[in-house]
Structure 1
Amino acid sequence: MSDPSLLATRAWPFEEAARVADRLQKTGKTTALFETGYGPSGLPHIGTFGEVARTTWVRRAFAAATGLPSRLLAFSDDMDGLRKVPDNVPNREMLAEYLGKPLTKVPDPFGTHDSFGAHNNARLRAFLDGFGFEYEFASSTDYYQSGRFDAALLRMLEVHDQVRDAVRPTLGPDRRATYSPFLPIHPRTGIVMQVPVDEARPESGTIIWTDPASGERFETPVTGGQVKAQWKADWAMRWFALGVDYEMSGKDLIDSVKLSSAIVRILGAEPPVTFTYELFLDAEGQKISKSKGNGLTIEQWLDYAPPESLAWFMYASPGSAKRLHAKVIPRAVDDWLAGVEKLRAAAEPTNPAWHIHGGAAPATRPPTIGFATLLNLAGVANTDDPARLWAYIQKYYPAESPETDPVLDGLVRNACAYWRDWVAPERRFRPATPAEAEAMQELARLLREREPGFMALPPGPQRESAMQDAVYDAGRREPFAVPGKDGKIGVGRAWFSALYEVLLGKTEGPRFGGTIAVMGVAEACALIEQRLAAETAAA
């Protein structure tokens, strides 16, 4: 069942889906082709995940709104020549002998596949499969050599001079003088030749070029995989040949998108709907660079959090720059969990979880404890051992176990790793002021006094709320008290900051009542008394 009204939904995947639907209406197509591109000279990374995930969300929105079929093509440009030897591979000396050859003609330095291109293609497919993406894989080498691009290449040959003249203004003086959209494959060496085309011959479907090393002239057909189109012309040729309807790309490719779109029009078609996403920044707001190593890898994120939390982070405002660093992870996890709970209550398509989970909440039972609270527990226990965190959890939820709640068990393991690498090294305890110490002693007294009432409540939100009330009541005193809008006395942020800075060595965290509920009243009171006693002894 489709729902065309969804195209008016104020969520960016539906806004993009509406653009795709308009394109299909104009072209008369009944199936939409979405594409993502991949350069297999490197390994899949966090940007690869983001591009495929975001394209998938637009595709799902398109299907839900129009009911029309669609395909997602993950296209590998594996016929590109090896430009340099990567730093992170074995047998680098061997690879240096194959510079300039198509990646599918370069031996695999890892020794596991027929070629370096095949190795990295396999890594890409395993990467995408690991996240459950639905896609069709496409190899540039296969498409060129099988003749799938022949008609488009012959068409580009017919308009060779127009394509050349469209690209030339974007090039430097040296390349401008020699540019052609075609790169011939040397018939003897197999190298993708970066040479001028002396003559384009549409009538015979060939180009004439000269080997600069030997001076020998060659006539090479543009069909059958005997040439490779230069990058921007290649992108346009692919859009034209396959009828691509939608493709995303990063801000760094804005000019390439414009030029490739102009080339598609020269070829005689309308370019696809395109979307430009912003690039990631590091914690200091600098552009992330693989050479600088100032970013967060996808492997690191998955050590610390579930993949759905990364999807949640990727979803919001793709047209705006995002700071991608470890400290965004806890919020992303808990926001994702909250989004799933909202999705369980109502399948609202403005909820990012709707897109991440395909319109329905996952069947697995939601975890009973949030990620930030697990980090607090790790701090209280001063441990990165999942078994010790489970010991706390099972005091509060006796029926829970890693076997009965695998989602929570995964979060426990993630939280332990995150606490070990990012929280523990930065913990800085400070002594309590006299006013803070007095309020914390009052909190311990209130917790003990109210413990029978707490235990009469079922584990969960009610008990946590009652414990949070005790936290508020202990803080309704100078210098923390603030007047509320209703005339009642409220509690200022300084009280909650004091709890975290004095008791946990952190600057912030989730509602403290939730942490008390899981660790237990006795342990919470002991923590307060131990910290205050340690300060007294130090003084």
Structure 2
Amino acid sequence: MSDPNTPQPPLPRAWPFEEARKLADHVQARQGRVKGDGKAARPALLETGYGPSGLPHIGTFGEVARTSWVRQAYTELTGQPAQLLAFSDDMDALRKVPDNVPQRDMLAKFIGQPLSRVPDPFGTHESFAAHNNARLCNFLDQFGFDYEFASSTLYYTGGRFDAALRRVLEVHEEIVGVIAPTLGADRRATYSPVLPLHPRTGEVMQVKMDAVNPAEGTVRWTDPATGEVFETPVTGGHAKMQWKADWAMRWYALGVDYEMSGKDLIDSVRLSGKICRILGGEPPAGLTYELFLDEQGQKISKSKGNGLSVEEWLRYAPQQSLEQFMFNQPQRAKRLYFDVIPKAADDYLTHVDKALALQASDAPEGDLRANPAWFFGKGKVEAQSGSPVFFSMLLNLASVANAETPEVLWGFIRRYDADVSPETHPMLAGLVRYAVAYYIDFVRPSKVFRVPTDKERAALVDLAVSLRGYEGESTDASVLQNLVFEIGKRHEFDPLRSWFSCLYEVLLGQKEGPRFGGFVALYGVSETVALIETALLREPQE
């Protein structure tokens, strides 16, 4: 690790490097605290948490992806190793039955049981937690994340937390003093950070502790239903922690250096940080990210299933587009629904083009490391990761051609550039398939063409006449774009974007569209003239 007194070089202008500097400072401080005990040399530990009470969703993926980019930036910045731990809280009790799972009546019988003891309603795994943990790992593996999966149940029952749990009993009343003021009067009277498991029913018991015995490592409590008194060890998986205290205990026990969390957990982070310090540890560095919203602006919920799934996104765009969406401004709330997919895909392709240009130039290395594509490519950007045709352009081409198969689009693409093929441009080949699927499911059902105004009609006639002068020629897209601009100015469209709105709404049946000159070059000059002539004959829609 570098000397803290040495002036720091400027960071690449990307938020993961800003977070990596925070992580490096935290590790530096931790090494100073434990110097000489043999622990200082361990890799930085970054953690993400997962609650397997519902099916994994994009928000879960986003946290792992973002943490992975911080890890990548940290290693690049410091040259030091780092570990990513994907931790599943699968010993938590099932509090309610999710809306989007089968056999809901069966699950209702297991309310209060640890998720790792609740039967799998899908019938494929030994427990509900195991099913959802497998789903989490499957899609993290699909994206190539380098992580270690951790199960709360295995850590508790395997003794990984035993020493920390005994420490909890030593400072039990101090922890209660932190949490109790945040609770209502009834809950405050019975609160304990320790949740014993009922020795007969297996239920996670949220009850008052009659006695806490740090020397023996046990708690004594009374079953409110039967009046029976039990003495339960907190070690070996016989008890677990309330979640804010559980979070803090985990930071302390494992020495977590970095963990990000959503805006809705700001107060929980603060309380858990206090508890971690009471235990004798230091809370990790971290980032507070904004939450994803659905199309109506509501918070996405695992149990409601009101967001996009990873599988749904990947039906319509490549994985890099999802990564791009996650990378953009994590501290800003973003709506996550199908309409954002095309822009995310094109944003990614734009960054690839910029990255490839940087790699081919003598630009400082830091410029490349500020590019999102550098993170997605794990430190490099391959030429095959880009595309000569953007996703939005393919969508518009699919729309005007009514393309229901990739072959339709490839007919236009090969005419545009005979050297382009699915073999030479695998990203483009994927985009073509995605564009057809997106067009069929979203664009085609919503196409609405309008009849041009008199002013627009005159400009469209002018455009058709002007384009005929380019028929049969190989014309650069920029030349055609300049032609479109000139006609808009000639017919005094003010603002000029109203002219392009006319082209999109009258010719393509949508509110937005591509650079029109590029569209003409790809679709064909003669075909565009025919498109204009068809639009001029269109009758008003009822």
Q: Between 383-392 and 303-312, report the one with greater CA deviation.
A: 383-392
- Correspondence for 1:510: 514
State the shift of 1:535 in Å: 4.3
The answer as to 2:329 corresponding to 1:325 is no
State the shift of 1:84 in Å: 2.2
State the shift of 1:293 in Å: 5.9
Aligned equivalents of 2:121, 2:326: Cα separation in 1: 33
Q: Secondary structure at the match of 2:83?
A: strand
Residue deviations 1:294-324 (CA, integer Å, cap 9, x gap):
5433333222211211211221221111122
Give runs of aligned pairs for residues 298-447 of structure 1, distance below 5 A.
298-346=310-358, 348-364=368-384, 366-447=386-467
Q: Is the 8 A contact 2:393 2:519 kept in 1?
A: yes
Aligned equivalents of 1:6, 1:48: Cα separation in 2: 33
The one of 42, 61, 64 aligned to 2:73: 61
State the shift of 1:331 in Å: 1.6
Q: Is the 8 A contact 2:98 2:304 kept in 1?
A: no
Q: Which consecutive unaligned segments of at least 5 residues does structure 2 have? A: 32-39, 359-364
The answer as to 2:12 corresponding to 1:12 is no
Give runs of aligned pairs for residues 213-362 of structure 1, distance below 5 A.
213-289=225-301, 294-346=306-358, 348-362=368-382
Quickly say closer, same or farther: Cα 1:425–1:293, change in 2 above 3 A. Answer: farther
Q: Is the 8 A contact 1:7 1:17 kept in 2?
A: no
Residue deviations 1:404-423 (CA, integer Å, cap 9, x gap):
43311211121122222332
Aligned equivalents of 2:297, 2:102: Cα separation in 1: 33
Q: Secondary structure at the match of 2:492?
A: coil
- Correspondence for 1:488: none
The one-letter code sitting in structure 2 at the alignment partner of 1:370 is F
Aligned equivalents of 1:107, 1:422: Cα separation in 2: 38
Aligned equivalents of 1:202, 1:104: Cα separation in 2: 28
Aligned equivalents of 1:324, 1:87: Cα separation in 2: 20
Q: Between 406-415 and 243-252, report the one with greater CA deviation.
A: 406-415
State the shift of 1:290 in Å: 5.4
Q: Between 28-37 and 110-119, report the one with greater CA deviation.
A: 110-119
State the shift of 1:339 in Å: 0.1
Q: Secondary structure at the match of 2:211?
A: strand
Aligned equivalents of 1:96, 1:80: Cα separation in 2: 15
- Correspondence for 1:35: 47
Aligned equivalents of 1:363, 1:493: Cα separation in 2: 33
Residue deviations 1:474-509 (CA, integer Å, cap 9, x gap):
3331332x7xxxxxxxx8222211111111111221
State the shift of 1:197 in Å: 0.9
Q: Secondary structure at the match of 2:92?
A: coil
- Correspondence for 1:485: none
The one of 88, 112, 118 aligned to 2:124: 112
Quickly say closer, same or farther: Cα 1:290–1:80, change in 2 above 3 A. Answer: closer
Aligned equivalents of 1:153, 1:381: Cα separation in 2: 65
Quickly say closer, same or farther: Cα 1:385–1:365, change in 2 above 3 A. Answer: same
Aligned equivalents of 2:520, 2:268: Cα separation in 1: 55
Q: TM-score normalised to the size of structure 2?
A: 0.91
Aligned equivalents of 1:324, 1:108: Cα separation in 2: 29
Aligned equivalents of 1:344, 1:270: Cα separation in 2: 42
Give runs of aligned pairs for residues 527-538 of structure 1, distance below 5 A.
527-535=531-539
The one of 484, 491, 509 aligned to 1:478: 491
Q: Between 177-186 and 413-422, report the one with greater CA deviation.
A: 413-422
- Correspondence for 1:50: 62
Q: Between 440-449 and 165-174, report the one with greater CA deviation.
A: 440-449
The one-letter code sitting in structure 2 at the alignment partner of 1:103 is L
Quickly say closer, same or farther: Cα 1:70–1:293, change in 2 above 3 A. Answer: closer
State the shift of 1:242 in Å: 0.1
The one of 23, 26, 37 aligned to 2:26: 23
State the shift of 1:7 in Å: 6.0
Q: Secondary structure at the match of 1:101?
A: coil
Aligned equivalents of 1:61, 1:15: Cα separation in 2: 9
Residue deviations 1:187-238 (CA, integer Å, cap 9, x gap):
1111111111110001111100111122111111111111011111100000
Superposition CA RMSD, Å? 2.3
The answer as to 2:517 corresponding to 1:497 is no
- Correspondence for 1:75: 87
Aligned equivalents of 1:374, 1:89: Cα separation in 2: 36
Aligned equivalents of 2:279, 2:130: Cα separation in 1: 31
Q: Secondary structure at the match of 1:450?
A: coil
Q: TM-score normalised to the size of structure 1?
A: 0.92
Aligned equivalents of 1:400, 1:213: Cα separation in 2: 73
How many residues were matched structurally? 522
Q: Secondary structure at the match of 1:68?
A: coil
Q: Is the 8 A contact 1:344 1:360 kept in 2?
A: no
Q: Between 435-444 and 12-21, report the one with greater CA deviation.
A: 435-444
Aligned equivalents of 1:49, 1:294: Cα separation in 2: 16
The one of 178, 181, 184 aligned to 1:169: 181
Q: Secondary structure at the match of 1:238?
A: helix
- Correspondence for 2:151: 139
The one-letter code sitting in structure 1 at the alignment partner of 2:376 is I
State the shift of 1:365 in Å: 5.3
Q: Is the 8 A contact 1:33 1:71 kept in 2?
A: yes
- Correspondence for 2:164: 152
The one-letter code sitting in structure 1 at the alignment partner of 2:262 is G
Q: Which consecutive unaligned segments of at least 5 residues does structure 1 have? A: 458-462, 483-490
Aligned equivalents of 1:168, 1:69: Cα separation in 2: 39
- Correspondence for 1:181: 193
Aligned equivalents of 1:337, 1:180: Cα separation in 2: 52
Q: Between 349-358 and 292-301, report the one with greater CA deviation.
A: 292-301
Aligned equivalents of 2:125, 2:532: Cα separation in 1: 59
- Correspondence for 2:362: none
Residue deviations 1:259-306 (CA, integer Å, cap 9, x gap):
100000100111111211111223444434456665433333222211
Q: Is the 8 A contact 1:249 1:275 kept in 2?
A: yes
State the shift of 1:144 in Å: 0.6
State the shift of 1:432 in Å: 1.8
The one-letter code sitting in structure 2 at the alignment partner of 1:146 is G
The one-letter code sitting in structure 2 at the alignment partner of 1:26 is A
Q: Between 443-452 and 280-289, report the one with greater CA deviation.
A: 280-289
Aligned equivalents of 1:124, 1:59: Cα separation in 2: 19
Q: Is the 8 A contact 1:5 1:65 kept in 2?
A: no
Aligned equivalents of 2:286, 2:108: Cα separation in 1: 37
Q: Is the 8 A contact 2:52 2:88 kept in 1?
A: yes
- Correspondence for 1:460: none
Q: Is the 8 A contact 1:7 1:18 kept in 2?
A: no
Residue deviations 1:42-85 (CA, integer Å, cap 9, x gap):
11101011101111111111000001110000000111112223
Aligned equivalents of 1:106, 1:267: Cα separation in 2: 32
Aligned equivalents of 2:526, 2:197: Cα separation in 1: 75
Aligned equivalents of 1:6, 1:275: Cα separation in 2: 22
Q: Is the 8 A contact 2:251 2:281 kept in 1?
A: no
Aligned equivalents of 2:142, 2:7: Cα separation in 1: 32
